[in-house]
Amino acid sequence: MPDLAEVLKSALSLKVDDRAALAERLLASLDELDEEEAERLWAEEAQRRLEEYRAGRARAAEAQDVAKKAEILFR
């Protein structure tokens, strides 16, 4: 099985329409996860983000600032 770097290199060499189709399919595959797997993955991501914050590689943002940015982006 090819590793992530190989797959990414190949994917990035695709035509834009093919990259978009691939991205759509990959995102859809995440929706197919069962609830337990999805929760496990979110817990791992939350732990990773907490470690990044504690190590000083990420910064916190006020919830109201995040909400404002989201509102602007989704208009």
Model confidence over 32-52: pLDDT tens digits?
889 999 899 999 999 999 999
Same domain, 24 and 2: yes
Question: Looking at the structure, do residues 38 and 72 belong to the same domain, yes or no?
Answer: yes
Q: What angle (nearest 5°) sits at the alpha carbon of residue 59, between those of residues 35 and 4?
A: 50
Same domain, 40 and 75: yes
- Count the Cβ atoms, other than its own, within 10 Å of residue 50: 11
Q: Is 40 in the same domain as 24? A: no
With H, G, I as helix, E, B as strand and everything else as coil, classify residue 59. coil
Same domain, 10 and 42: no
Residues 43, 71 within the same domain: yes
Q: Are 3 and 11 in contact (CB under 8 A)?
A: no
Q: Which domain holds residue 21?
A: 1-32
pTM for the predicted model, two decimal places: 0.53
Residue 2 predicted with pLDDT over 90: no
CB atoms within 10 A of CB 22: 14
